Amino acid sequence: MTSCLLLWAILGAANEQIIDRFDYADSDTAAKAWVASAGTPRVRVVEDQGRRVVEMATPFASNPNLERTILDRAVQLDLSAPGEFSLEIGSPTAEKLGRLSLYFRSGEGWFAGGGELSKKGWQTLRFSKASFRPEGKPAGWHKIDGIRLSIWRGPSADAVVRLGGLAALWHDVALVLPSPSSLSDRQELRAALSAADAVGDFLAQLGLGSDAVDEHAAAQGALARRRVAILAHNPGVGRETIGALEAFVQGGGKVFVCYSLAPELGKLLGFGRPKYVRPSPPDQFAEIRFEASDLPGLPKAVRQSSWNITTAEPVGHHARVIGRWFDPQGRPTGHAAMLLSDRGAFFSHIVLSDDPEGKRQMLAAVLGRLWPPLWEQMARTKLDALGRMGHLEGPADLARYVNRSSDSAAAKALEAGTAAYRAAAKLAEAKQFPEAIQQAQEARRLLVEAYLRATPSRGEEGRAFWEHSGQGAYPGDWERTARELAAAGFNMVIPNMLWGGLAHYESEVLPQSRVVRSHGDQIAQCAAACKKHGLEAHIWKVNWNLSTAPREFVEKLRKQGRTQVSARGEPHDWLCPSHPENFQLELDSMLEVARRYDVAGLHFDYIRYPDGDHCYCEGCRRRFESESGRKVARWPDDCYRGERSREYRDWRCKQITRLVEAVHRQAKKIKPQIKLSAAVFGAYPSCRESVGQDWPEWIKAGYLDFVCPMDYTESDLGFISLVSSQLELVGGRIPIYPGIGATASRSALSVDRVVGQIHHARSLGANGFTIFNLDRGTIQDIAPGVGLGAGSRPAMPPHRK
């Protein structure tokens, strides 16, 4: 357990309960404890670095039907108190593995969590309890009677996984999660859990870790071991939970509440008169500026684009406002953003993942104020992580990388960064932790700069950004967006200008958006700006999806039987792809763009079904029966899971593919030079089965000129594994510009991590990259960093040849 011991030395404050050491006397004993099923080979005990560990084989190549391996162990455990689990795991061929799932069985259900190996060799994976989702009807964390470990199919390869320890952990900080009983609205519950997840991620990055405790458990005393309780978003917090928090506060605990502030809870902490505020104009809340010089480490400002807030006022326990909201022009809005008292803090919205560095600093300063010993943990983690950046493992790697580049500006930044690092270590030794963290941040900034500058540029490469709003990074100013992108070495932008039922340009086919009225025709402005700055504009359509369409438009289509219906008969606001008029609408809208605008290309997205349960509308039934020449005996069961399901899945793929084919054929007739491309799911062939997206077939048939798989992951190893398998599928037929999730819903990457994934994409043989998503934040945080090295020389996108 050497690596675990090391970890505890760093994290000091964690308590630990070992669940399994995987130290079994022999293979028979291990195989009796961890029972293999569903085609999984028996486990065996092996020697690894002088100790016994358990090895599980993952024979995905030898057994092509194996979807995942399964190991089960029976236990009797009360896991209501721990907030996190750690699994020590290793594999010499980690890139050949899919995702890992960890399940705890309870009553008639499970708690399901997951993760990915991030590198080859031994590593410790952490699973926050907040990230576990109930499946079926679990009785509760206090009654766990089984543990299951699963490795899912990745690339088709045989590999092994070694297990060295599974433990439950406690931390000083608890994340109090809403329980299903306090928040019955499933969607609201999911939103609340994901808000807690985001805070949990930030805490992990700060080196703090946290315990997820649900409101029900908190009410029964589960907060007892903690120092700080965080309510990341608990709209239905009950009387009993507030009672528990009151006892917690009276025992010296501190409470940090975000967004929803129940009046009694506010009163307990010194924050009163909570008031819900909708911004006017809608982008009014852009930035929080702080004013509390007595809080060490507090940033001057953080960016956050909130769509609404709850404000409050100081009413007791020395409460005061320490941060206020400002608008995009830097004007005060008059609304409080953050309050602090002797008993806790209040933040006026959920903590969003934009401006991650700022958010980390903000949380560090507030939590460090609430419970000062947290500072030491954070300082140690920060110093420890300084040399790890991009695709590099440590300081020695960085020095070699910079030297090899022979870039003098990179060498200078490395020298200054190393000096700053030494100063930070000295401050930590003197126990001046907030100062040490600040100094470490400066060191980090310099070392990242060295890394970015040392990254080489290429002469031929597709360098793109997806842009989700259709308005560029600065609404009303495509000129500035194009200029800044070109300055950072980008040669393409992919702006989202049309949807299933909405257009950000003067369309004669689709309803026009409010943006057209307020800012004019966005394609015209974008195309002109791109032309001026030498950028290609590839116009992105979100196909089929009606979520942004005007209500009356959707209702009209639904009445006409043109929207989708699930296998259970529920309506869904997506255009049914098999409906001839929907097909025509999709085609006409894309051809309208090709005909009327001087753009480089058309880009498909959502070119698929929403999931595996659609579409089973009456129209689909009729059209399927007529095309297959055979009635469906039991609709939709036969086509959904029954004897004709395979045939129906193929037919669904055809409905999607025929649109790609038609746009390809007709757009090229209108404009022979126009390029067609698509944002596609990373994992194939599962996307063919689930959402009817058979993109490798489109490439083989010659419908696409380049492809951008959405490889959004924070794991470089996961990224490498996706890109490798996609390169194999594409087989060199067209360029591939893998999608990098800088600010995707499941992945947030700092600029060095984005450049690290660019490095991996290049090393594997990809022809460029596409970053998600361009906005005011990423054009300032990500684009210039790419421009320092990776994009420092102009490049030609290879699809132009």
Contacting residues toward Zn ion, per CB under 5 A: 576, 615, 617, 620
Residue 41 phi, psi dihedral angles, 5° rounding: -65, 155
The nearest distance, CB 654 to Zn ion, in angstroms, is 13
Provide the minimum distance between the beta carbon of 577 and Zn ion in the complex, in angstroms, as a whole number.
7
Query: Which amino acid is present at 7?
Result: L
Q: Is 729 helix (H, G, I), strand (E, B) or coil?
A: helix
The minimum distance between CB 693 and Zn ion, in angstroms, equals 16
Q: At what angle do helices 522-532 and 478-487 cross, to 10 degrees?
A: 30
Residue owning tokens 């057209």: 516
Cβ neighbour number for residue 651 with a 10 Å cutoff: 18
Residue 337 or 576: which CB sits closer to Zn ion?
A: 576
- Which helix (H) or strand (E) segment holds residue 623: the answer is helix 618-628
What 3-state DSSP class applies to 577? coil
582/713 with CB nearer Zn ion = 582
Task: Give the CA angle between residues 555, 559, 562 to the nearest 5°.
Answer: 90
If the CB atoms of residues 516 and 617 are measured against Zn ion, the closer one turns out to be 617
Is residue 80 within 8 A of residue 163, CB to CB? The reply is no
How far is residue 798's CA from residue 801's CA, in Å, rounded to a whole number? 6
Taking the least distance from each CB to Zn ion, the nearer of 445 and 623 is 623
Min separation Cβ 578 and Zn ion, Å: 5
Report residue 101 as tokens: 């799932």
Beta carbon nearer to Zn ion, 370 or 576: 576
Residue spans of beta strands (DSSP E) within 304-401: 309-314, 320-326, 332-340, 344-347
**Minimal distance in Å, beta carbon 506 to Zn ion?**
30
Residue 125 or 576 having the CB closest to Zn ion: 576
Q: Which is nearer to Zn ion, 21 or 623 (CB)?
A: 623
Which candidate, 386, 279, 294, 296, places its Cα nearest to that of 335? 279
Residue (241 or 578) nearer to Zn ion, CB: 578
Residue 297 or 692: the one with the smaller Cβ distance to Zn ion is 692
Q: Smallest distance from the beta carbon of 632 to Zn ion, in angstroms?
A: 13
> What's the 3-state SS for 619-665?
HHHHHHHHHHCCCCCCCCHHHHCCCCHHHHHHHHHHHHHHHHHHHHH
Give the whole-angstrom CA distance, residue 157 versus residue 139.
Answer: 37
Amino acid at 167: A
Cβ-Cβ contacts under 8 Å for 116 (sequence gap 6 or more):
99, 100, 713, 715, 717, 718
Q: Return the bridge partners of 85, or none.
A: 127, 168
Q: Could you tell me the smallest distance in angstroms from the CB atom of residue 636 to Zn ion?
A: 10
Cα angle 707, 480, 768 (rounded to 5 degrees) comes to 20
- Provide the minimum distance between the beta carbon of 615 and Zn ion in the complex, in angstroms, as a whole number: 3
Task: Please give the Cα distance from 698 to 682 (Å, whole number).
Answer: 15
Nearer to Zn ion, 261 or 617 (CB): 617
Place of tokens 């048939």: 701
Nearer to Zn ion, 265 or 576 (CB): 576
Contact partners, residue 654, CB within 8 Å, separation at least 6:
none
As measured in angstroms, the least distance from the Cβ of 646 to Zn ion is: 18
In one letter, which amino acid is 457? S
Minimum CB–partner distance for residue 559 and Zn ion (Å): 15
The least distance separating Zn ion from the CB of residue 652, rounded to whole angstroms, comes to: 9
- Structure tokens belonging to residue 16: 């630990």
Considering beta carbons, is residue 444 or 579 the nearer one to Zn ion? 579
CB of 666 to Zn ion, least distance (A): 23
Strand partners, 15: 170
Paired tokens of 166: 């599974």
| 3-class DSSP assignment, residue 78 | coil
